[in-house]
Structure 1
Amino acid sequence: MVSKGPRVHETLASVGEQEVIRAITAIAGSSLNGDDAAVLHPGAPNHLTVVATDMMVEGNHFRQEWSTPEEVGEKIILRNFADVESMGARPVASLLAIAAPPDTPLEFVRGLARGIAKRQDKYNAELVGGDVTHSSQIVITLTALGALGGDLPALTLSAARPGQTVIAHGRIGWAGAGLALLQRYGRAVPSEFAPLVKAQCAPWIDPGRGVVARAAGAKAMTDNSDGLIQDLTTVATKSGVGIDLDSAALEPDDLLVAAARALDADPWEWVLAGGEDHTLIGTTPGDVPTGFVPIGRTTAARDTGVVVDGRKPQFSAGWSAL
C-alpha cells in the first residue's frame, strides 16, 4: 500500500503559497478565518482588546539543530501570550506571518502549526489568519489578541508603588540554563537536564495567571523575557520605585546547581540575567495571588533600581534584541 502521508521532499516553493496556507489551517484552523481578514465575534460588554506582537528569527531566536518545528511554534505562542497575560488579559486569538527560503521543507511549517495548535488549545484560543512570503532566512511573526474584562485597570509597568510585594509565577533561570547546555552539548544534552532544555526551546507558564493576579489586586506586571534584573529595572524605572529582591526566594534549585556544576558556571547568572523563562513578575499591595510566590519588596523612590538583599546584583546584563 502506498503511504499518503506528507512527502518529505515537498518545499514551500514546490507546493506554492495556497498549499502552505492549507497545511497550516488543516492543523491550526479556525472558523473565524475570513476571505481576506478574520471576522471576530464582538467582545463581551466592558471588555477591551489587548494586542501584542513578537518576532522569531532563525539563528537569533532559534536554531533548527536545537529546536524542533513544534517547539518553535510552542515558543512563539508563549512569548506573545505571556505579554497578553502580563497585562491581566486573556489570550483569545493569534495571527501568524512566515517569511522563509523557498527550499524550506513544508514539513517545517506543518510542525510549526502543530506547536501553535498545541499551545493555543490550552488557552482556548485560535489562529485566525496570517501571511506567507519568501526571504533569505526563516522569520516568524505572531500577533496575539487578548480580552481585558471588568473595571480594573490593566497591569502596567508604571503601576508599582513603594511597600508592595514583588511576585512571580513560573520558573526563573531554567531557560538560561537550557541555552547554556545547548551551547555546550547541542541537542545531545545529558537526559537529566532535559527539563532545562525544554524550558529554553518551548517555555511554559500556567494559562490564566495574569487574569488571576489582576483580579486579586496586583498592580504592575511584566514577563521575564530579557532577564529578571533587567525586566524589573524597567518596572522600577517606569514606576519610580526601588525593588529589593530576596535571595532566599530566588535560590537556584537542585537542577540548576547540577547544570552549573556540569558547565563550570554560576547558576545565579541564569536566575538574575538569563531571561526567556517568560515568568510573570509583578507587584501587589495585598495577598500573594494563587499560583505566585513572593520574591521581594518595592521600596521608596529614592532607592530606584533593583538590588538583591539590599546590595547591587552580581549579574544584571540580560538579553538585548539589538
Structure 2
Amino acid sequence: MSNTPPATDRPEGSIGELGEFAVIDRITAGTTMTGSVELGPGDDAAVVTTPDGRVVISVDMLVDGVHFRSDWAGHEQIGRRAALAAMSDIAAMGAVPTGLVVAVAAPPSLPAERMLELGRGLSAAAAEAGAALVGGDLTRADALSLAVTVIGDLRGVRPVRRSGARAGDVVAVTGRLGWAAAGLTVLSRGFRSPAALVNAYRVPEPPLAAGPVAAASGATSMVDVSDGLLADLGHVAHASGVAINIRSASLQVHPRLVEVAAALGRDPLDWVLTGGDDHALAATFPHGATLPPGWEAIGSVGVPGDLGPVVTVDGAVREGAGGWDHFG
C-alpha cells in the first residue's frame, strides 16, 4: 500500500527553507516498496534481493538545459523521464529493473513542491515497471540534475550484449522512433503542439518489458536507442565487428511525423534515424527466427567491407551525424 501524502499536503517555500532531510523524508514517504526490497529508505544503504545471483547495474545522468528543460516540462514529468531512460538500459541487457537510487542536485531556491513532484515522478515510473525507489542523495547546485542508478535482475537468462551480432542476423526494433526528436524540434520552434509529439519528448514510453522477452527469444545483441538509431546500432556494429544495413522502406514513419515535418520543412526520416530520447530497443536475431510480438524487422547484419564495421541505409552511408554526441 502506498504511503503517498494526500494532495493537500503541499509544503510551502523552497527546499532550502524546508531543509535537506525534511525534503528527503517527504519524498520517501511516498515511495512503495516491492517484494525484491529487503530494506528501503531510512538507513545508510538499501538492501535489494538478487534471486538470480547476478546484479545488472547502470547509471544515467540528466542535467537541466542539456537533457531536459524545466520550462518545457513539469517536474513530475522530468522525474518520470529520468527513471524511464535509466531503466531502458537495464531492459536492453535483457533484465528486469528492481531498484532505483537517485542523486539529485538542485538550487536551494527550487520550490519544495517541485522537488516532491520530481520524487513522485521517479517513484511512479519505477513502480509501474515493477521496481522501487530505494534511496538516494540530495545536494545543492546551480542547476537541477539527476543521476539515476538502476539495478536489475536477469532472472536466469544470459545478458544480451552489444557484441553478439553475427552476419546473417536480422535487425529489428520495438518502440517509437522519431517522436521525441520531432517533439524537441517543435518545442525549439516555440510551439507546444502537437501534444502527442511534445509529450513524447517530455516523457518517453520505452518498451521495458520487451527487453527480457527478446533475451528469452534468442536475441544475439541489443541496445537502447537513446542517442539515435544509426548511432546506437553503430555501437553494435563496432562491438560485434559487423556491417549493418537498414532498409528505409521497413521503418515505420507515423503520419503525424510526416505532417509536422512538412510544416517545418524537415525530413521525417531524419528524426527516425537519428533522433534519440524515445528509448526504443534495437536488437539482432538469428536468421529465420520468429520475432517476439511488437518487434519489426528493419534490416540485416553482414560482413564488414572496406569501410569496416559500419551502419548503412539502403546500402549507403548516410551523410551527417547519426545521433546525439555530448562532445561531438
Q: TM-score range by the shorter chain?
A: over 0.9
Letter in 1 for 2:170: T
Alignment of 1:151-170 (within 5 A): 152-170=157-175
Which of 129, 143, 150 is residue 135 of structure 2 equivalent to?
129
Task: Give secondary structure in 2 for the equivalent of 1:307.
Answer: strand
Q: How many residues align?
A: 312
Confirm whether residue 268 of structure 1 aligns to residue 269 of structure 2.
yes
The residue that corresponds to 1:141 in the other structure is 147
> How far is 1:12 from its partner?
0.9
Letter in 2 for 1:12: I
Which of 12, 15, 30 is residue 15 of structure 2 equivalent to?
12
> How far is 1:277 from its partner?
1.2
> How far is 1:164 from its partner?
0.5
CA contact (8 A) 1:91 1:146 kept: yes
Q: For residues 314 and 8 of structure 2, what CA distance do their matches in structure 1 show?
A: 61
CA contact (8 A) 2:94 2:214 kept: yes
Letter in 1 for 2:90: V
1:136-183, Cα deviation, whole Å (9 max, x unpaired): 111111100000122x43111111001001011101111100100010
Q: For residues 58 and 289 of structure 1, what CA distance do their matches in structure 2 show?
A: 37
Alignment of 1:16-55 (within 5 A): 16-30=19-33, 32-41=40-49, 43-44=50-51, 46-55=52-61
Task: Give secondary structure in 1 for the equivalent of 2:163.
Answer: coil
Task: Give secondary structure in 1 for the equivalent of 2:29.
Answer: helix
Alpha-carbon distance change, 33 to 4 in structure 1, aligned in 2, over 3 angstroms: closer
Runs of 4+ in 1 over 3 A off after TM superposition: 314-317
CA contact (8 A) 1:23 1:109 kept: no
Task: Give secondary structure in 1 for the equivalent of 2:223.
Answer: strand
> How far is 1:27 from its partner?
2.0
CA contact (8 A) 1:243 1:307 kept: yes
Alpha-carbon distance change, 93 to 109 in structure 1, aligned in 2, over 3 angstroms: same
The residue that corresponds to 2:295 in the other structure is 292
The residue that corresponds to 1:107 in the other structure is 113
Task: Give secondary structure in 2 for the equivalent of 1:62.
Answer: coil
Q: For residues 315 and 4 of structure 1, what CA distance do their matches in structure 2 show?
A: 51
> How far is 1:251 from its partner?
4.3
Alpha-carbon distance change, 39 to 294 in structure 1, aligned in 2, over 3 angstroms: same
The residue that corresponds to 2:178 in the other structure is 173
Task: Give secondary structure in 2 for the equivalent of 1:28.
Answer: coil
Q: For residues 162 and 137 of structure 2, what CA distance do their matches in structure 1 show?
A: 32
Q: For residues 91 and 128 of structure 1, what CA distance do their matches in structure 2 show?
A: 12
Alpha-carbon distance change, 300 to 223 in structure 1, aligned in 2, over 3 angstroms: same
Alignment of 1:85-96 (within 5 A): 85-96=91-102
Q: For residues 126 and 267 of structure 1, what CA distance do their matches in structure 2 show?
A: 37
Unaligned runs of 5+ in 1: none
The residue that corresponds to 1:208 in the other structure is 209
Task: Give secondary structure in 1 for the equivalent of 2:54.
Answer: strand
Letter in 2 for 1:207: L
CA contact (8 A) 2:228 2:273 kept: yes
Task: Give secondary structure in 1 for the equivalent of 2:153.
Answer: strand
> How far is 1:279 from its partner?
0.5
CA contact (8 A) 2:98 2:130 kept: yes
Q: Normalising by structure 2, what TM-score? A: 0.91
Q: For residues 207 and 140 of structure 1, what CA distance do their matches in structure 2 show?
A: 21
> How far is 1:4 from its partner?
5.3
> How far is 1:313 from its partner?
2.1
> How far is 1:224 from its partner?
0.8
Task: Give secondary structure in 2 for the equivalent of 1:48.
Answer: coil
Alignment of 1:166-315 (within 5 A): 166-186=171-191, 189-190=192-193, 193-285=194-286, 286-302=289-305, 304-315=309-320
